[in-house]
A and B are shown apart, each in its own frame.
Chain A
């Protein structure tokens, strides 16, 4: 092997350090030319012109009671008050899992963590009181304790944690839906009564978790050697992508019962879920196919040459790389799904936006649309941004673009 010649000491120099004073930084970045200075002043003026009335309105004119009075409707719809503890139970379980995961995997990012924690506390502060306030504070404390426990336990509990996440959604569906008769402690709550953020989140979570594997299968189907599988995958994908989601939601409400025997009754929430899943799966299939196309043929050769079976090379070699390549588009699609769940209001389900709409149409809240919709907007934005942040974290953790 060829040894690199040792560089002489005077050749090895530290990189040049750039030091700025605040004024120096401002000069460089904001006022480097007369045109730049002009842009800076224009931008400041614009921010002022928009910001001032917005802040004045938010803190002195807006009547936020439309939100605080209706917070239960916005959060859980018409879910029976006596059964609300079940929803809270799910929130606390989420706090446990979220806190543990943050402690085990994320560790740093204290600022983002604090913002996530501040959200329930801020909401609690804004409420007039009642059990919700206690629950929110409790959830924040639970999350914090779980975070500390997660940090202490570290990677040892990784597997347990993954298992818990896998069980979480079915468990939530079970708790929210309930089993058994009127008299049982966990009595059935008809999905007609689910609503608000609860419904939005359930539609989103089920939509993501079911459409993703379906999308993988469709993407593989489209590349299959078997003509029947390939053609039916193509037909499905192109058919669904050619139709607006609203149409699919209507079809799911009206047509789905036609395909099923008369004695099977599917409730409207499940029908909407099916619509969203079928829609998203088609798009994700194309996203995933894009990731598969980017895998060099040499990877398939190498996987075959070392003796892996077709399924093994797909699961161990090809899919991990393909999915990693398309994390941004996959998450983008999931964020779109989350926001698209608001379309179920059109088929009569009262999700977050649907509830907001029905609240502001009541006589005592007339003229308070801005407050209600702004609140809803904030909630949508908060979770969308959180998903985007997680996706970036995931990219860094998986070394996208580096290896």
Chain B
């Protein structure tokens, strides 16, 4: 075996990832490499497979062909591998998906207590710090239903961060929010990006992409149509489809 150049292994490697829903070919050979600390923005029309793709990265969706490695662990039917990957990846959903029967504090401490087996004091201390970091330290004893959408989404970010993940996945985190709440969530995400977290974000918030994205991927019909830095994508998109889509979302 040849001696490789000493270079940090990528956090995420996807090779020729395919996914079908019945006869519908949702992902048609997606290749991607994400290095540590990179912020990736994935965008594209609805039904383009971008959400499906990000959900394959912690195996909420199974891919049927190709290979996905997350932090060196291959995702397969091996349950232990899946559990390892899920411990290292946090995920934030469009609909927040907080646990409505638990308080904010319990939402955030649940995984550290039951998956990482931390003592309660440590889990709660971390939770308090995280809630302060996303700007809602005073809501710990409330239930999710008592919070605004923006606050719920920030709790969801804190909940995902509580496991101290190496990678954060965001699946349209601001799509279900009122305009004035989008800002508060994006601010938390920008702060997170600047702290050096590896992030994959499915979003149409082009301001966010411009501010912190290292690379952008444009998905359409289950394939990556185009990728590049925000500068390349916004100023000189190569593909007609990318140009058309950008013109649609940027003018409206």
Contacts and interface: CB of A to CB of B under 8 A. Distances in A.
B98 A305 contact: no
B191 interface: no
A319 to B, nearest CB: 10
B115 A307 contact: yes
Given A305-B86, A316-B114, A402-B145, A2 B180 contact: yes
A324 B101 contact: yes
B86 A403 contact: no
Contacts of B115: 306-308, 312
A402 B83 CA distance: 33
B218 interface: no
Contacts of B159: 306
B73 interface: no
Contacts of B145: 402-403
A209 interface: no
Contacts of A317: 99
A302 B100 contact: no
B49 interface: no
Which of B91, B114, B146 has the largest count of A CB atoms less than 10 A from its CB? B114
B222 interface: no
A154 B87 CA distance: 39
Nearest to A297: B97
A71 B163 CA distance: 63
Contact of A308 (B93, B101, B114, B135): B114
A155 interface: no
Contacts of A296: 95, 97
Contact of A302 (B97, B101, B184): B97
B146 A298 contact: no
A305 B90 contact: yes
A302 B146 CA distance: 19
Contacts of A312: 114-115
A399 interface: yes
B144 interface: yes
Interface of B: 55, 58-60, 83, 86-87, 89-91, 93, 95, 97-101, 110-111, 114-115, 135, 143-146, 159-160, 163, 180, 184
Interface of A: 1-2, 296, 298-299, 301-309, 312, 316-317, 320-321, 324, 398-399, 402-403
The list of the 5 closest CB pairs from A to B, nearest first, reads A403-B145, A302-B97, A298-B97, A306-B111, A305-B91
16 contacts: A304-B59, A304-B60, A305-B90, A305-B160, A306-B90, A306-B110, A306-B111, A306-B115, A306-B160, A307-B111, A308-B115, A320-B101, A321-B99, A321-B101, A403-B143, A403-B145
Given A298-B95, A403-B145, 17 more contacts: A298-B93, A301-B55, A301-B60, A302-B91, A304-B59, A304-B60, A305-B60, A305-B86, A305-B89, A305-B91, A306-B160, A307-B83, A312-B114, A312-B115, A398-B101, A399-B143, A403-B100
